[in-house]
């Protein structure tokens, strides 16, 4: 299953939410979530986590579209099939070109250079089967510019989450203009929903009305601690007095991440997408999520 995240006007936290969703995915030993940073404007993961995208990442994944299928890879695909996992291509998968970041999440980072990243995204858009690894691939498309390779990737997703800030007039106007195109993707069996970020005084029903009946699946909180966590900048308190102060301010275990608003919202979204797995677009839509709003 491919879950794509994008925005329509800028990228209001797409990468942060994509990391959080992949990290919170209800995985099993045979369901290994992998995050692919397919942002044609250049990636941030390598900078955030000190990765070398030249060794493994989006460029090597794109190059795999021209490589012959190795014998051992075909044997690996047979092993996946015997284990009951379907839909894994015999060619190099995203998981093969992923690196592991602290916490165990596997990511395929994009180069920071927009030209290099754009070429890699364009190549992958012509061979989207490379994005299927195990059963869950989360794609960070960034800003989905109409006609771009990143926008083309949306047509190969099973689920699309569009981050939008309808409380901002510019974002609201772009959402209204692009909503019919997004809604048309549902005719191809793709589930499309909105995740509202930023301050928004409009109700979910009002946003859905201006967005061609696209449902609101979540409200993403403004959460500096959660954002620092996914960037690899957050450090839990170590000294006793700092731990006591952290507990006193939140009344929660300072080592636990369950209370972090961004993580709570991402976990709910991941569980919703997991529920969608194997369900056709004609099925009755699920209820709207209520993420914590800071």
Instruction: Determine, yes or no, domain membership for 35.
Output: no
- Are 126 and 143 in a shared domain? no
pLDDT in tens, 216-253: 999 998 888 788 888 877 555 555 654 555 555 555 55
Q: Which of 78, 98, 133 is the last residue of a domain?
A: 133
Instruction: Determine, yes or no, domain membership for 36.
Output: no
Q: Which of 100, 133, 166 is the last residue of a domain?
A: 133
Q: What pLDDT is attached to residue 64?
A: 82
- Are 282 and 156 in a shared domain? yes
| The pLDDT of residue 102 is above 90 | no
Instruction: Determine, yes or no, domain membership for 33.
Output: no
Q: What are phi and psi of 29, to 5 degrees?
A: -55, -25
- Are 199 and 225 in a shared domain? yes
- What CATH number has the domain bearing residue 245? 3.40.50.2300
Domain count within the chain: 2
Instruction: Determine, yes or no, domain membership for 34.
Output: no
Instruction: Determine, yes or no, domain membership for 110.
Output: yes
- What is the pTM assigned to this prediction? 0.79
| The pLDDT of residue 83 is above 50 | no
Q: How confident is the model at residue 85 (pLDDT cuts 50, 70, 90)?
A: very low
| The pLDDT of residue 180 is above 70 | yes
Q: What pLDDT is attached to residue 240?
A: 62
- The range of the structural domain enclosing residue 238 comes to 1-27+136-294
pLDDT in tens, 140-160: 999 988 888 888 999 999 999
| The pLDDT of residue 34 is above 80 | yes
Percent of the chain with pLDDT over 90: 31
Q: What pLDDT is attached to residue 239?
A: 56
- Are 284 and 226 in a shared domain? yes
Q: CA-CA distance, 269 to 286, in Å (whole number)?
A: 12
- The token pair at 253 is 């275990």
| CA-based nearest residue to 89, from 32, 38, 39, 127 | 127
For residue 258, the SS3 value is coil
- Are 21 and 151 in a shared domain? yes
Size (the chain), residues: 294
Instruction: Determine, yes or no, domain membership for 32.
Output: no
Side by side, the strands of the sheet bearing 191-197 are 99-100, 106-108, 34-37, 137-143, 2-7, 159-164, 191-197, 216-220
Q: What pLDDT is attached to residue 223?
A: 84
- Are 224 and 212 in a shared domain? yes
Q: Which of 68, 103, 133 is the last residue of a domain?
A: 133
Q: Which of 20-24, 84-88, 200-204, 272-276 has the lowest mean pLDDT?
A: 84-88
């Amino acid at each position: 299953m491919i879950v794509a995240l994008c925005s329509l006007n800028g990228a209001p936290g797409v990468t942060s939410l994509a990391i959080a969703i992949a990290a919170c995915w209800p995985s099993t030993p045979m369901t290994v979530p992998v995050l692919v940073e397919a942002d044609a404007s250049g990636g941030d993961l390598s900078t955030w986590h000190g990765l070398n995208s030249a060794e493994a990442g989006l460029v090597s994944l794109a190059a795999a579209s021209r490589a012959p299928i190795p014998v051992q890879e075909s044997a690996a695909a047979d092993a996946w099939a015997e284990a009951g996992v379907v839909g894994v291509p015999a060619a190099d998968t995203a998981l093969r070109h992923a690196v592991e970041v602290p916490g165990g999440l596997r990511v395929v980072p994009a180069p920071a250079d927009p030209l290099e990243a754009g070429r890699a995204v364009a190549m992958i858009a012509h061979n989207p089967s490379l994005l299927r690894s195990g059963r869950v691939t989360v794609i960070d498309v960034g800003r989905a510019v109409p006609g771009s390779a990143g926008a083309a990737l949306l047509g190969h997703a099973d689920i699309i989450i569009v981050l939008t800030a309808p409380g901002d007039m510019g974002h609201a106007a772009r959402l209204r203009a692009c909503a019919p195109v997004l809604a048309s993707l549902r005719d191809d069996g793709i589930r499309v929903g909105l995740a509202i970020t930023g301050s928004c005084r409009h109700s979910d029903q009002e946003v859905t009305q201006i967005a061609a009946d696209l449902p609101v699946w979540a409200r993403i909180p403004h959460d500096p601690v959660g954002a620092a966590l996914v960037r690899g900048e957050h450090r839990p308190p170590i000294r006793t007095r700092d731990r006591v102060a952290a507990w006193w301010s939140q009344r929660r275990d300072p080592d636990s991440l369950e209370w972090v608003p961004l993580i709570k919202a991402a976990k709910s979204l991941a569980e919703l997408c997991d529920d969608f797995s194997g369900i056709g677009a004609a099925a009755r839509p699920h209820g709207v999520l209520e993420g914590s709003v800071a």
